[in-house]
C-alpha cells in the first residue's frame, strides 16, 4: 500500500471524529459560531506553522512559504474584526511535538494539506449560509481554490518520493496521528468568545 493510502486508513477514524468536533457544516451555523471556530483554527495554526517552518522543505520540493495558511487566517481575522481575540490565543501549547523529525513533520503536513479538501466543502457552505468568501472572512477555507486538486496531487507525489527514500512509514503515520490528536484537543478546549454583539 502507498503511504498516502496507509495514512488515509490510519487516520480515517480520527478524521470522522474531528469532522464532528469541528461541526462547521451545520444548517444553523451562525456567524458567532463561525468566529469562535475560526479562532480555534488560528490557535492551532499559530502553534504548528512556526514549528514546521524550521524544516528544509526545499530539499524535498515542497514550497512551504507558498502553502502556508496563517496569512489567510490573519486576513479572515481582520475581515471579521477579531484580531484582538486571536492574539489572546497565541502561545497555546498542544501537540504535536515533532521532535525535529522530518518524518513526523511530513505526517503533520499530510493532515494540513488534507484539510484543504474539506475546506472546499466548507467554503461552499459558508458562502451559502453566511455569505462569506475569500474577500470577507473565508479566505482560509477557500484555500487553494480551483488549484486544490492539483495541489493535493502534487503533495501526494512529494510525500511518496520522500517516503520511499526515508523508509520509515511508521514515523510518518505517527506524525499524522499526533497532529489529528492535537487538532482534536485544540477543538475540545473551549474558548468563550465575548463578541459583544
Confirm or reject binding of residue 144 to ligand HEM (CB under 6 A).
no
d(CA 87, CA 74): 10
Confirm or reject binding of residue 117 to ligand HEM (CB under 6 A).
yes
Q: Would you say 60 and 162 are in contact if contact means Cβ atoms under 8 Å apart?
A: yes
Confirm or reject binding of residue 94 to ligand HEM (CB under 6 A).
no
d(CA 186, CA 9): 23
Find the binder of ligand HEM among 6, 22, 36, 74 (CB under 6 A). 22
Q: Would you say 142 and 133 are in contact if contact means Cβ atoms under 8 Å apart?
A: yes
Confirm or reject binding of residue 115 to ligand HEM (CB under 6 A).
yes
d(CA 105, CA 110): 9
d(CA 44, CA 56): 21
Find the binder of ligand HEM among 29, 118, 148, 193 (CB under 6 A). 118
Find the binder of ligand HEM among 53, 83, 121, 157 (CB under 6 A). 121
What is the contact surface with ligand HEM in residues (CB under 6 A)? 4, 7-8, 15, 18-19, 22, 24-25, 110-111, 114-115, 117-118, 121-122, 183
Amino acid at each position: 500500500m502507498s503511504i498516502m493510502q496507509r495514512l488515509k486508513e490510519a487516520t480515517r477514524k480520527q478524521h470522522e471524529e474531528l469532522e464532528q468536533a469541528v461541526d462547521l457544516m451545520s444548517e444553523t451555523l451562525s456567524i458567532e459560531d463561525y468566529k469562535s471556530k475560526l479562532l480555534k483554527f488560528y490557535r492551532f495554526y499559530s502553534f504548528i506553522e512556526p514549528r514546521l517552518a524550521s524544516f528544509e522543505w526545499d530539499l524535498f520540493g515542497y514550497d512551504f512559504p507558498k502553502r502556508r495558511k496563517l496569512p489567510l487566517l490573519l486576513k479572515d481575522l481582520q475581515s471579521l474584526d477579531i484580531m484582538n481575540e486571536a492574539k489572546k490565543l497565541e502561545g497555546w501549547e498542544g501537540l504535536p511535538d515533532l521532535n525535529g523529525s522530518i518524518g513526523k513533520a511530513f505526517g503533520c503536513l499530510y493532515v494540513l494539506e488534507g484539510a484543504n479538501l474539506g475546506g472546499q466543502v466548507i467554503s461552499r457552505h459558508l458562502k451559502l449560509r453566511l455569505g462569506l468568501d475569500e474577500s470577507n472572512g473565508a479566505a482560509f477555507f477557500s484555500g487553494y481554490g480551483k488549484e486544490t486538486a492539483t495541489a493535493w496531487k502534487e503533495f501526494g507525489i512529494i510525500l511518496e518520493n520522500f517516503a520511499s527514500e526515508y523508509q520509515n512509514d511508521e514515523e510518518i503515520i505517527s506524525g499524522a496521528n499526533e497532529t489529528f490528536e492535537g487538532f482534536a484537543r485544540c477543538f475540545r478546549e473551549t474558548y468563550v468568545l465575548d463578541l459583544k454583539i
